[in-house]
């Protein structure tokens, strides 16, 4: 069936990256509306008041700020949507981490108005995608809300992202590191990308550029992150982790790395692990499945170590390898409809289990 589908490239309408952009946010909003409803993380409410609102006023935009209540649930989407309607908002601005941005995308979708996103951490490529992940009130996964279009504007302020805890930045590198290898596999398999179309050569090219920019800049970018400063290397790395990874994955598709990440949700001792940290182990598993060239594995490991990401399962906090638990991981990773189906060869649960064991052994060799 996928052979009759078109190839696709989907992307935010506009992407901006630079330093000190929050204080000039008005000029990026004015083309989309003059009555803004701002959904903000609690930690950024003061900055929003001091920097964003004056800029909006300078551009003749009225605004209302509301604190995001920690979890992207259907109830929270409805609560915020009601406030947006009461205030007659015609544009949504989301300022914060991934869940804040997801709830902002969902509110804008249901209200049929534009959305402008201002990520404050670079832990995933979620800001650029046409997707919101909804959770239940107890924090468990609920469902994916697939959106008809990507955000209107994404603004990455390197100074704000550089000031966030290093672990978030590193996790974003981990998520982005898998982008090229998954897109390559999906393209070879002629599988389905994240908007259920066929992967495009453009998507594969953006994914490859993502890997190249990480490879070129990771050491210098980590120097900047450790000292909470901005440099050209940091800017290029954030461009890779937020934009190229998001657009590259959406147009190029996912494969084994993210499927294994999904399966790892069954391992209770790893529930505290960041998404990008688990994707890294999924990538190592994928490289084992592909019997990737040694020089390719060497470079992936170099980037993982430079970004100070956990390399082995033990580094992530696993105290005991329980075979039955990891066979469940393999089963979930191979579930019908998951992205393991985008691998260019047939992959069984046994293949995945064996590859995960081998991937952890491989990781130990590089310690």
Locate 256 and state its tokens: 């084994």
To the question of whether residue 101 is assigned a binding role by annotation, the answer is: yes
Q: Does residue 190 have a known ligand-binding role?
A: no
Query: Does residue 149 contact residue 183 with C-beta atoms inside 8 Å?
Result: no
The reply to whether 121 sits in an annotated binding site is yes
Is 135 marked as binding a ligand? yes
Number of C-beta neighbours around residue 199 at 10 A: 32
* DSSP letter assigned to residue 190: T
Confirm whether residue 34 is marked as ligand binding. no
Does 227 show up as a binding residue in the annotation? no
Separation of CA 163 from chain center = 19
Check the annotation: does 99 bind a ligand: yes
Say if residue 131 carries a ligand binding annotation. Answer: yes
Six-digit token pair at 20? 């000190």
Whether residue 287 is annotated as binding a ligand: the answer is no
* Kind and range of the H or E run holding 17: strand 14-18
How many angstroms separate the CA atoms of 350 and 241, rounded? 32
41 is in an annotated binding site: yes
- Written in H, E and C, the secondary structure of the chain is CHHHCCEECCCCCEEEEECCCHHHCHHHHCCCCCEEEEEECHHHHHHHHHHHHHHHHHCCCEEEEEECCCCCCHHHHHHHHHHHHHCCCCEEEEEECHHHHHHHHHHHHHHCCCEEEEECCCCCCHHHCCEEEEECCCCCEEEEEECCCCCCEEEEEHHHHHHCCHHHHHHHHHHHHCHHHHHHHHHHHCCCCCCCCEECHHHHHHHHHHHHHHHHHHHHHHHHHHCCCCCHHHHHHHHHHHHHHHHHHHHHCCCHHHHHHHHHHHCHHHCCCCHHHHHHHHHHHHHHHHCCCHHHHHHHHHHHHHCCCCCCHHHHCCCCCCHHHHHHHHHHHCCCCCHHHHCCCCCCHHHHHHHHHHHHHHHHHCC
User: Annotation-wise, does 98 bind a ligand?
Assistant: yes
Q: Is 237 annotated as a binding residue?
A: no
207 labeled binding residue: no
Q: Is 311 annotated as a binding residue?
A: no
Q: Are 41 and 95 in contact (CB under 8 A)?
A: yes
Annotated binding site for glycerol: 125, 175, 258, 275
Annotated binding site: 41, 98-102, 120-123, 125, 129, 131, 135, 175, 258, 275
Annotated binding site for NAD(+): 41, 98-102, 120-123, 129, 131, 135
């Amino acid at each position: 069936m996928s052979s009759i589908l078109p190839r696709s490239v989907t992307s935010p309408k506009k992407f901006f990256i630079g330093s000190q952009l929050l204080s000039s946010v008005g000029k990026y909003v004015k083309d989309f509306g003059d009555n803004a409803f701002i959904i903000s993380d609690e930690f950024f409410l003061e900055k929003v008041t001091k920097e964003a609102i004056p800029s909006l006023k300078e551009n003749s935009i009225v605004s209302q700020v509301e604190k995001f209540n920690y979890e992207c649930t259907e109830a929270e989407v409805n609560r915020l949507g009601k406030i947006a309607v009461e205030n007659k908002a015609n544009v949504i601005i989301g300022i914060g981490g991934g869940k804040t941005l997801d709830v902002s995308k969902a509110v804008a979708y249901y209200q049929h108005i534009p959305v402008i996103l201002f990520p404050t951490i670079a832990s995933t490529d979620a800001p650029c995608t046409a997707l919101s992940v909804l959770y239940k009130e107890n924090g468990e996964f609920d469902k994916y809300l697939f959106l008809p279009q990507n955000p209107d504007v994404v603004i990455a302020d390197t100074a704000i992202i550089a000031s966030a805890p290093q672990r978030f930045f590193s996790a974003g590198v981990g998520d982005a590191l898998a982008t090229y290898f998954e897109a390559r596999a999906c393209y070879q398999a002629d599988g389905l990308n994240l908007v259920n179309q066929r992967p495009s050569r453009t998507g594969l090219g953006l994914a490859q550029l993502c890997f190249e920019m990480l490879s070129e800049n990771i050491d210098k970018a980590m120097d900047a992150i450790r000292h909470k400063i901005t440099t050209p290397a940091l800017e290029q790395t954030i461009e890779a982790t937020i934009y190229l990874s998001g657009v590259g994955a959406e147009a190029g598709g996912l494969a084994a790395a993210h499927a294994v990440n999904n399966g790892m949700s069954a391992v209770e001792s790893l529930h505290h692990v960041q998404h990008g940290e688990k994707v890294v182990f999924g990538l190592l598993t994928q490289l084992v499945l592909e019997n990737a060239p040694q020089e390719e594995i060497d470079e992936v490991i170099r980037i993982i170590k430079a970004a100070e990401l956990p390399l082995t399962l033990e580094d992530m906090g696993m105290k005991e390898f329980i075979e039955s638990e990891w066979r469940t991981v393999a089963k979930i990773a191979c579930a019908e409809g998951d992205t393991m189906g985008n691998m260019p060869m047939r992959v069984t649960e046994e293949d995945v289990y064996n590859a995960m064991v081998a991937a952890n052994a491989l990781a130990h060799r590089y310690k």
